[in-house]
Amino acid sequence: EIVLTQSPVTLSLSPGERATLSCRASQSVSSFLAWFQQKPGQAPRLLIYDASRRATGIPARFSGSGSGTDFTLTISSLEPEDFAVYYCQQRINWPGTFGQGTKVEIK
């Protein structure tokens, strides 16, 4: 089973700042990686798929990069509604495992 490790566990930032989240895989997942946003009491929302493609309706301030084992989700300028937990998920094999999450909190 592929293990995804996200860092940092918590990111404390102010609105308007840039957020950089990392996801590292225990073995290559090629570009088959997604990022999700989850707010308390809500279902996860797909942000990025195939490592760098934005899902429908996702603002341009969200971007993804990376391939193989190292991936990054960048939020260029945090809006108040972006404070949430972010998960990465690999889709190269079954079952597609998730990272443990990074919480982006207001500083």
Partner 1 sequence: QVQLQESGPGLVKPSETLSLTCTVSGGSISGYYWSWVRQPPGKRLEWIAYIHNTGITNNTPSLRSRITTSLDTSKNQFSLKLSSVTAADTAVYYCARQGVIGGVTYFDYWGQGILVTVSS
Q: Which residues bind partner 1 (CB under 8 A)?
A: 31-32, 34, 36, 41-46, 49-50, 53, 55, 87, 89, 91-92, 94-101
| Cβ contact 63:57 at 8 Å | no
Read off the tokens for 20: 């950089």
**In whole angstroms, what is the distance from residue 106 CA to residue 37 CA?**
16
- CB of 71 or CB of 78, closer to partner 1: 71
* Least distance between partner 1 and beta carbon 100 (Å): 5
3-state secondary structure of 82: helix
* Least distance between partner 1 and beta carbon 49 (Å): 4
- CB of 68 or CB of 96, closer to partner 1: 96
**In whole angstroms, what is the distance from residue 40 CA to residue 32 CA?**
26
* Least distance between partner 1 and beta carbon 79 (Å): 22
- CB of 36 or CB of 83, closer to partner 1: 36
| Cβ contact 37:45 at 8 Å | yes
* Least distance between partner 1 and beta carbon 50 (Å): 4
Closest to 64 (Cα-Cα) out of 55, 83, 51, 76: 51
- CB of 17 or CB of 72, closer to partner 1: 72
